Amino acid sequence: MSMETSQQTYTFPKGFWWGSAASATQTEGSVPGDGKGPNIWDYWFEQEPTRFFNGVGPGETSQFYRKYKEDIRLMKEIGHNSFRLSISWSRLLPEGKGAINEEAVAFYNDVINELIANDIEPFVNLYHFDMPMQLQKIGGWVNRQVVDDYVNYATLCFQLFGDRIKKWFTHNEPIVPVEGGYMYSFHYPNEVDFQKAVQAGFHEILSNAKAIQAYKQLKQGGKIGIILNLTPSYPRSQNPQDVEAAEIADAFFNRSFLDPAVKGNFPGKLVTILKKEGFMPHMEEGDLALIKENTIDLLGINYYQPRRVKAKEHMPHPSAPFMPNHYFDSFDMPGRKMNVYRGWEIYEKGIYDILKKIQADYDNIECFISENGMGVEGEERFMDEEGVIHDDYRIEFISEHLKWVHQAIQEGSNVKGYHLWTFMDNWSWTNAYKNRYGFVSVDLQEDGKRTIKKSGHWFQSVSEKNGF
């Protein structure tokens, strides 16, 4: 299927990274006897299956563990020159530390080699929401011991795979386990405790810096970065109270990780509030210096939706647990364009605004769009007789975002690539298989049969022409 357009308007720089991203827990599944240890998702699903859409857990899902050769062939077919995967910590180290699962080493070696053999550069992320259960039992990210366990795990990964992997990422969206696990109850351990939230976040930041330090010591010659979900904060109006509310939201949700990762320091607005409210994390001597000295080489930006903010209208009950939104309200802008399935606003220009901010305020650090995408429920209704899903809405979504990425490049942004979330339909945490995001559909009724969607064919032509 080719999609000729008469004229190409958007051409990207030579060598632009075209591909997609995925994560271990969402794609691999598990096979009896594979040696994988349980992580928080396996455990939580066992305990409370009803919290997952239609009661579907992470066990079967997309079966990348068995079908990765076929999947990599499909990646090649739809024009990938790069692909991000994550390593499952509890597959490699079933207890989170100690004994290594040799079958996992063989699996990841094989995946990496197969990608390289197909001219697809593997980008490897070390942590994508999947704390080994043994380490969650001692508190997960809230416990400082886990920072050291993580650095040991990261170092093992560098030693095992670093001869071939030249782009590493310490974390994917580190704020999400903080929000899900300790504020809004959509990740295990489902606590509501802002002090723990802050501590978990601080430990993730520390673990990022320590992993960077460990990586640099090995002198493997690659780059190491982090992947952050940046949600540009737009004030309802230019009223100073609205603007201040948006800046506070930005400090909590973007700059909390962006500033330490890129600049090695913390935003003043955030520190002031944490001090005032009595929620500063426990730190040890030398932590701040270590964070200052070990910053990233490369920034991955996940962009899905903006955050619209207005000044606080009603104060929460004085004894309600502290939450960042004690400082702002969200603003449901009338008439905003929505992805109704996911409940997220679609605002394409947001991707440009982020890139401009990175260019202006973060020294134009090398970056790429590491996730962007559209989850849609019930895509089967767009399927033709051959089983191909005609996801024109996804093609439109991607191209409208790419136009803004292109614009930022024209204006000097150092953005190096675009990865869709995601390669194939996968298990999306508590939403399980509700919304589908892939270039490739996966039929759960038919042993995970893969079929390239219209968007996948379209992406092949974009990659081949390096534009559209």
Q: What residues are labeled active site?
A: 173, 371
Give the helix ranges, DSSP H, for 251-338: 256-262, 268-277, 287-293
User: In this chain, which stretch among 68-76, 143-151, 401-409, 421-429 interacts with ligand GAL, using CB under 6 A?
Assistant: 421-429
Cβ neighbours of residue 89 under 8 Å, at least 6 residues apart?
39, 96, 126, 127, 130, 131, 132, 150, 153
Q: How far is the CB of 431 from ligand GAL (least distance, A)?
A: 7
Q: Are 55 and 49 in contact (CB under 8 A)?
A: yes
Question: Does the protein bind ligand GAL through residue 23 (CB under 6 A)?
Answer: yes
Contacts with ligand GAL: how many residues (CB under 6 A)?
11
Question: Does the protein bind ligand GAL through residue 439 (CB under 6 A)?
Answer: no
Binder of ligand GAL out of 220, 372, 428, 441 (CB under 6 A):
428
Site string for ligand GAL, 373-402 (x = CB under 6 A): --x---------------------------
Q: How far is the CB of 173 from ligand GAL (least distance, A)?
A: 5
Give me the DSSP letters along 141-161: GGSTHHHHHHHHHHHHHHHHH
Q: How long a stretch of residues is the chain?
A: 468
Binder of ligand GAL out of 353, 371, 391, 425 (CB under 6 A):
371
Burial state string for 316-351 with b = 16 or more CB within 10 A and e = fewer than 16: eeeeeebebbbbbbebeeeeeeebebbeebbbbebb
| Nearer CB in complex with ligand GAL: 236/434 | 434
Site string for ligand GAL, 229-268 (x = CB under 6 A): x---------------------------------------
Residues 414, 418, 424: CA angle, nearest 5 degrees = 160
Residue type, 23: S
| Nearer CB in complex with ligand GAL: 195/370 | 370
| Nearer CB in complex with ligand GAL: 302/413 | 302
**Crossing angle, helix 102-117 and helix 145-161, to 10 degrees?**
50
Question: Does the protein bind ligand GAL through residue 173 (CB under 6 A)?
Answer: yes
| Nearer CB in complex with ligand GAL: 65/423 | 423
Q: Are strands 367-371 and 233-235 parallel, antiparallel or unpaired?
A: unpaired
| Nearer CB in complex with ligand GAL: 229/441 | 229
- Residues binding ligand GAL (CB under 6 A): 23, 26, 172-173, 229, 302, 371, 375, 421, 428-429
